[in-house]
Structure 1
Amino acid sequence: MATLTRSGIGRGVPYEPPPELAALSLGQLAEQVAARKLPPIDQWSPQDVGDSEMRIAADGRWYHQGGEIRRPAMVRAFSSLLVRDDSGQHWLVTPFQKLSIEVEDAAFIATDMQATVDAQGRAVLAFRLNSDDLVICGPDHPLRVTGTHDVPAFYLSVRHGTEARLNRSTYGQLIEHALAIGGSELAVESQGARFVLVPA
């Protein structure tokens, strides 16, 4: 982590928590998503490969060499550098380094959900992550369900192969929304895409 910090990542990062998700209109949600300026990871090809000695626990907390990283701004900065490759390995990527990071479950935790509609009357589901990112579910950010019928696990695609696991209260919101919709099976729609909420 020290090398990443020397490169300027995670140091002096301005940070202001966004407003409550329930208070945002669809237009404001879109503005919040657009305002999140992410580094162009897909344009970088670092040659220096190593180990970050960092870990993301199943509850979403970040650790470096066994000590928890408690600064939200630093976690938010590091989370913007995350990618997951086809083998499932997570990496922190900068223009000069590609450092492995251990992820116990998912890189992010979805902590809140809002259901709204767009100008065409289509359902839209927006999720807040523990990094304070906002992700609008849809074809580019699909939901998937694993586990069993008794103990399901819900995941939302975030970016660069990474995912967010919905925490208990958030998947409770999702299930309540699906039940309110009704229908022959437990499912939701967002941005024209349909997602069945039962493990295959």
Structure 2
Amino acid sequence: MPMPPPLPDLSSLSLADIARLAEEKKLPPVHLWNPDHCGDSEMRIARDGTWYHQGSPIGRPAMVRLFSTILRREQDGSFVLVTPVEKLAIAVDEAPFAAVELKTEGTGAARSLGFRLNTGDVVIASADHPLHFEGGSEGPRPYLEVRPGLDALLTRPVYYELVEIALAEGAEPLGLWSGKAFFALEAGA
């Protein structure tokens, strides 16, 4: 089986390039597939975005990328891997994706924020892909909506980078614009 092409370096891409890459990625229509539940996949996605099968990390990034394209959140909040003929439960510790890299262009209301996920996918924060923050005992938990019902937890370095940019920009309330939408950097905002 041929190896997938290497992932492009986010720092060398413009936000327009990132948006084009995001648009080019065609996902299977998992929302249309409703097979019977077949059991447990014996897979788990850890808080840091690492995928496990039967307790061992999945070492092939191409396999993780493939599985991530058939991931869906059910109405009851559970997660499944779904194909036209089977549906298998998958455990998710916190969020199915991790935002591991940030690219920003522009300032103020003209800013765009592009994120690379642990799966190699790229997402630009916007009204369709909002940033949101939940409160927690360890401080705010920052998330980016990747697909309906599927979020990426922003890694600490990415979150700190967002906060640093927001502090330098001085918006009140503290927050950032991206894709013509404003995102306050606080829980419940």
The 1:150/1:73 distance shift into structure 2, 3 A limit, reads: closer
Q: Which runs of 5+ in 2 are unaligned?
A: none
Partner of 2:42: 53
Summarize deviations over 1:158-187 as a string: whole Å, max 9, x none: 113110000011001111111122122211
Pairwise CA distance, 1:149: 8.5
Pairwise CA distance, 1:22: 1.6
Partner of 1:3: none
Q: Does 1:176 align with 2:164?
A: yes
Q: Does 1:70 align with 2:59?
A: yes
Q: Does 1:199 align with 2:187?
A: yes
Q: TM-score, normalised by structure 2?
A: 0.91
Summarize deviations over 1:9-28 as a string: whole Å, max 9, x none: xxx47522321112111221
Moved more, 148-157 or 138-147: 148-157
Contact 1:13–1:74 under 8 Å retained in 2: no
Pairwise CA distance, 1:157: 0.4
- Structure 1 residue runs of 4 or more that deviate by more than 4 Å after TM superposition: none
Q: Which amino acid aligns with 1:160?
A: P
User: What is the percent sequence identity of the aligned residues?
Assistant: 45
State the alpha-carbon separation in 2 of the partners of residues 16 and 199 from structure 1. 38
Moved more, 141-150 or 90-99: 141-150
State the alpha-carbon separation in 2 of the partners of residues 160 and 93 from structure 1. 15
Q: Does 1:190 align with 2:153?
A: no
SS in 2 for 1:16: coil
Q: Which runs of 5+ in 1 are unaligned?
A: 1-11
Contact 1:13–1:73 under 8 Å retained in 2: no
Q: TM-score, normalised by structure 1?
A: 0.87
